[in-house]
Each structure stands twice: as structure tokens, then as C-alpha cells.
Structure 1
Amino acid sequence: MKIGTLFTQSILATLLFCSVSQAGWNDFWDRAHLDYARNKCWPSPFVEADRASVNNYYSAMTAAGIRLQNTLSDHYFDARTGDLTSSGKLKVRQIVMGPEGRRAVYVMQGLSQEETEARIKTVQASLTNMFGTPDVTEVYVSPQQPVGRSAEYIDEIYRRERSSIPAPRLPAFTDQ
């Protein structure tokens, strides 16, 4: 009976040690097969993520560019009355008539909260005049100043440049 008990104990010990030594063996081979398959089809699984990251960057740049393009800065408002100038009205019309999804009007933040609110009301009144309702598009406040100058300033520079150009003349004829 002692031999049977020893035999049973040795079988149990063998099974116990074998199960311990097998711990993680199947996980290892599963991972090895997965890594092999992934390496075999590389770079396909990663290309889409790279493309998405680049497109997200361009989407953010495009949105910032649209915001700057659609911002009514200081020179679109009359300094004395706060009303839109004629170029400001044309700019609002251009924005609203633009492509779908790019029709939001951004108003440059004024020096005070009252000035900013007056600008928003002026733009909404202009929208009501043009289209019958101020709800044609959204009007937002933008703290960022777009790059640009007033048309009067550009016109003055152009006229001064044109007036400083000497009259054209041919060189004197020399007989050789």
C-alpha cells in the first residue's frame, strides 16, 4: 500500500509542477502569433492613425483660418458711431453668402464689454436689414486680431506710390 501511496503522490506532484511550469505558455504563443501577424502586415494598421492625426491638424488650421477670415476687425466699424462701414456690410454679406459651414461671423472684441456688445448688435441689425432676420448665421466674439489694414490706408499707399513714379522717357539718341 505504501507503493501505491507513493505512486499517487508522485503523480500528483508531477501534475502540480507541470501545471505551474505551463503558466503563461499559451499566452506567450498567442502573443507570438499576434506579433507575427502584425509585423507581417505592417504598416497597414498604423497608416490610418497617422493619416487621421495629420487631418486633425489640418482641420484645426482650417478652422482657425476661417475664423480669422470671417472676423470683422476694428476698421470695419465706424470709430465715432460704432456702425458698420460700407466695407463692413459687404464683408458680412460675403461671409453669409459663402460656403455652407463657413458662414459664422466673428466680431473683434472691443476695448470694453459695452463696445463689444454694441458691435454684435450692429452686425445683427445689418443681418436683419439684408436678410430679414438676424438668425441667418451665428455671431461670435473673437479676441484674435486678423492681419489686415483698412481699404483707405491701402488706397493712400497706392496713390502715393503712383504719384512718385517719374514720367516715362526715352534716352537721348546718340549717333555712333
Structure 2
Amino acid sequence: MANTFPTKRTLLFAAILAAMASGGIGSQTASADWGSLVHQMHVGYHRNVAWPDPFNEVDAVQTVMPFEAMKRNGWRMHNTIGHELFRGGDGALLAAGQNRVRWIATQAPEGRREIYVLRGVTQEETQSRIKAVQEAVDGYVLAGQPQPQVLVTTIEPATSPGVVATKINRERLEQMAAPKLPTTSAAGTTGVTQ
């Protein structure tokens, strides 16, 4: 009982000898598998030593991707010409629609100059909306500049009536605390107000 170490060593040595003897039977496949095993161990070692460097760039791209999608969707909503910017029936642009198209065609970042036209009730109305926007773009874009694409969308931008927006803004201004000067300065001397 006191001398169990040599027994374990003997069993381990016997297992290694048995593995080597059985490897001699199919030496062609065993050597190929052995080389593959050594190669995989070598690759695994170097991956572990280099960690996390090989994965930083992939992680950074995956972290940024949702934000890029949000930016794209935000610009799409911003550049959508909705129902309220067209005259009912014939699809002509109203003055506010003309201003929005002009801003997109001339002021938006060049990579974001896509104009989305909200689909009309009928196909004819949609086509007249596209034609009105395209004519407006032709008048605003200078020669030699790339023309913004005019695309059709069914995603309506979130809007609210001006009355509601004005009410919210006024309530915010009414609840804002009045400005007040401090009674003492940072140095501890008495301030302007007492």
C-alpha cells in the first residue's frame, strides 16, 4: 500500500508501449494522423498566445454594426418625403416639400443624399410624386454633381402635429428652473447676490 507509485508508472508505460505497438500495424495512417495532430497543437498554441488580437477587429466590427444600421435607418426616416409634403390628388410638392428636397440634395452629407418618397394611395399618385421630386432635384443639383437617388418607401416617418410639439416645448420651458447666481464664490468670498 505504501509503494503504489511504481505500479501507476508501470501501467502508464504499458499503455504507451501498447499504443506504439498498435501504431506499427497501420503506420501510414498513424503517421499522417500524428502529423495532423502536431500541426493542430501548433496552431492552437499560437492562437492561444496571440489571443485576443486576432479577434479584436471582428469584435469591433460586430459592436459597430447595430449602430451603423441605426444611423442608416435614421437618415432614411429623415430623408423621407411624407404624405403631408405633397398636395393631395396630383402628388405635387408643397413649399415645405420643396425645402426638404433642396436640403437633402444640397446640404445633407454626400453619402446620405438619398430621397425616399412615401408611396401614394394609387400607383399613379406614387409616380407623380416621384416625378415631382425628380424635377425638384434637377433644379437644385449643379452640373457635375452626383444626383441623389429617388426611391419609394412604405415606411412612414414618425411625426406629430405642430400643436402637440408646441405644447410639449412650452411645458418644458415653464418647468425650467429660473437661473440663479451663487451667494458665494468658489474662493469663499461673498458673491454678487445676497
| Consecutive unaligned residues in structure 2, runs of 5 or more | 1-21, 171-194
SS in 1 for 2:152: strand
The structure whose RCO (Cα within 8 Å, separation 6+) is larger is 1
CA drift of 1:17 comes to 2.6
Higher alpha-carbon deviation: 35-44 or 80-89: 80-89
Cross-structure match for 1:5 = none
Residue 81 to residue 111, structure 1, CA distance change in 2 (3 Å): closer
SS in 1 for 2:116: strand
Query: Where has structure 1 moved over 4 Å in runs of 4 or more?
Result: none
Q: Equivalent residues in 2 for 1:50-89 (5 A)?
A: 50-89=59-98
Is residue 147 from structure 1 mapped to residue 158 from structure 2 by the alignment? yes
CA drift of 1:26 comes to 1.5
CA drift of 1:57 comes to 2.7
Q: Equivalent residues in 2 for 1:41-120 (5 A)?
A: 41-97=50-106, 98-120=108-130
Higher alpha-carbon deviation: 47-56 or 25-34: 47-56
CA drift of 1:15 comes to 9.9
Is residue 138 from structure 1 mapped to residue 138 from structure 2 by the alignment? no
CA drift of 1:28 comes to 0.8
Q: For 2:147 and 2:157, how far apart are their aligned partners in 1?
A: 23
**Count of matched residue pairs:** 145
CA drift of 1:143 comes to 0.9
Q: For 2:88 and 2:149, how far apart are their aligned partners in 1?
A: 24
Q: For 1:112 and 1:80, how far apart are their aligned partners in 2?
A: 10
Residue 23 to residue 158, structure 1, CA distance change in 2 (3 Å): closer
Q: For 1:100 and 1:131, how far apart are their aligned partners in 2?
A: 12
Q: CA RMSD in A?
A: 2.9
Q: For 2:72 and 2:96, how far apart are their aligned partners in 1?
A: 24
TM-score (norm 2): 0.64
Partner letter of residue 106 of structure 1? Y
Q: For 1:111 and 1:58, how far apart are their aligned partners in 2?
A: 33
Structure 2 contact 81–116 (Cα < 8 Å) conserved: yes
SS in 1 for 2:111: coil
Residue 156 to residue 24, structure 1, CA distance change in 2 (3 Å): closer
Residue 27 to residue 122, structure 1, CA distance change in 2 (3 Å): same
Deviation sequence 1:92-128 (CA, Å, 0-9, x none): 1111121111111110011111111010011112223
Q: For 1:23 and 1:99, how far apart are their aligned partners in 2?
A: 59
TM-score (norm 1): 0.70
Q: For 2:130 and 2:153, how far apart are their aligned partners in 1?
A: 11
Structure 2 contact 114–150 (Cα < 8 Å) conserved: yes
Residue 155 to residue 90, structure 1, CA distance change in 2 (3 Å): farther
Deviation sequence 1:14-60 (CA, Å, 0-9, x none): 99637244341111111111111111111111111111222333222
